[in-house]
Amino acid sequence: MNDQIIRDVLTNTKRIALVGASDRTDRPSYGVMKYLLDQGYEVIPVSPKLAGQTLLGQTAYATLAEIPGKVDMVDVFRNAEAAWGVAQEAIAIGANTLWLQQGIINEQAAVLARDAGLTVIMDRCPKIEIPRLGLTRAVQ
């Protein structure tokens, strides 16, 4: 993945749906969500278990389709097999980017999303990429 593409996504993204959000503070999804909020992004937790509750001050939704308004990026903290369904949902809501977290690789989901016009980033974490690329405050 080209660093400039990652930089562009992180700079132009304002609203992120975080699929697989957890209220457990020891989970990577919790730490990444907190980090992205601290960077100035609007982060919407998506988890059927947490739907209707608040996580880090944000209302959680069961599915991407339930989120009101536009979502720029769908950040996926689910297993690789689940990525296909999440890609379909991301396409359906008109997201710009499908971001599969570090360790999550699903080439079929990536092809599906790319063919629908989404930027796809796989096997990366924005919490690592933002400081690596020198984006101290990614959202302007």
DSSP string for 79-117? -GGGHHHHHHHHHHHT-SEEEEPTT---HHHHHHHHHTT
Residue 138 lies in a domain: no
Strands 15-19 and 73-76: parallel
What confidence tens digit (pLDDT) does each residue in 30-87 have?
Answer: 999 999 999 999 999 999 999 999 999 999 999 999 999 999 999 999 999 999 999 9
Question: What does the pLDDT look like over 50-59, one tens digit per residue?
Answer: 999 999 999 9
Number of structural domains the chain divides into = 1
The answer to the question of residue 137 being in a domain is: no
Its pTM stands at: 0.95
Q: Sign of torsion, CA 98 103 105 109? A: negative
Q: Give domain status of residue 140, yes or no.
A: no
Q: Which domain holds residue 96?
A: 3-132
In a domain, residue 123? The reply is yes
Residue 125, in any domain of the structure: yes
CATH number at residue 15: 3.40.50.720
Q: Is 68 a domain residue? A: yes
